[in-house]
Amino acid sequence: MFKLFLYVKIIDGVETMLIVAFSIVIIFIDQLSKFLIRSNFHQSHQLSIIGDYLYLTFVKNRGAAFGILKGQRSFFILITVFLLIFIIYIYQNELKQTAAVKAAIGFLLGGSIANLIDRLLLHYVTDFIAFNLFDFYQLPVVNIADIFIFFGVLILIYNLLFSADRGV
């Protein structure tokens, strides 16, 4: 019995380390991409990637999407720390431990920490990926961390709503 318990704990530890490693890779890619944008673009400079539909730009985002709650840095730092604690709690105590959920947790942790680093060090989040849909709707300018957060949330919602083994 003890050997089985020890084996389960080792596997759990390895899986947790993989999530942490995955998060670190996300943070590295995000921070590197933001550094490259800040180093090579002046604010609001645009570089078309796919016509008018996808382009790179440099935006200092001091709020949320579309600049909502602009200048509320302390609020966003506090919310991010709270959400990081909540994500870790949910992972350890509530969610079914599927591969998709583990990936989502890695996405959320990596993306949240990457944006938190910007807020703490720069007092803004560097956004640089802009999408235009059908020439009439421009999505908020985002970054790599935002994309991982978005997909992490989508995976968790899907898991909670449609998984045979409901997440919680």
- Assigned domain for 44 exists: yes
Interior/surface letters 58-84, b for 16+ CB within 10 angstroms, e for the rest: bbebbbeeeeeeeeebeebeeebeeee
The structure tokens listed for 166 are 């409901």
Residue 32: CA atoms inside 13 Å, Cβ hemisphere, count? 6
Mean pLDDT lowest among 3-12, 82-91, 108-117, 148-157: 3-12
Q: How confident is the model at residue 92 (pLDDT cuts 50, 70, 90)?
A: confident
Give the H or E element holding residue 25: helix 2-40
Alpha helices in 41-162 (DSSP H): 73-93, 99-122, 144-162
Q: Is 146 annotated in the active site? A: yes
- Assigned domain for 65 exists: yes
Local structure of residue 1 (DSSP, 8 states):
-
- Please give the average per-residue pLDDT across 57-86, as a whole number: 82
- 52, 127, 135, 165: which is the annotated catalytic residue? 127
Three-state SS at 136: coil
- 118, 135, 146, 165: which is the annotated catalytic residue? 146
Is residue 2 pLDDT above 60, yes or no? Answer: no
The pTM (predicted TM-score) of the whole model is 0.83
Q: What is the pLDDT of residue 164?
A: 62
Local structure of residue 69 (DSSP, 8 states):
T
Distance (Å) of CA 12 to CA 3, 6, 44, 53? 14, 10, 45, 43
**Structural domain containing residue 64:** 18-162
30 or 98: which leads in pLDDT: 30
- Assigned domain for 68 exists: yes
Mean pLDDT of the chain: 84
Quick one: how far is CA 158 from the chain centroid? Answer: 17
Is residue 4 pLDDT above 60, yes or no? Answer: no
The residues facing 61 across adjacent strands are: 125
Is residue 6 pLDDT above 70, yes or no? Answer: no
Q: What is the pLDDT of residue 64?
A: 73
Mean pLDDT lowest among 8-17, 58-67, 87-96: 8-17
Nearest-angstrom CA–CA distance, 153 and 158: 9
Q: What is the pLDDT of residue 73?
A: 75
48 or 107: which leads in pLDDT: 107
- Assigned domain for 13 exists: no
Q: Is 127 annotated in the active site? A: yes
- Assigned domain for 5 exists: no
- Assigned domain for 6 exists: no
CB 104 within 8 A of CB 159: yes
- Assigned domain for 2 exists: no
- Assigned domain for 147 exists: yes
Q: How many domains is the chain partitioned into structurally? A: 1
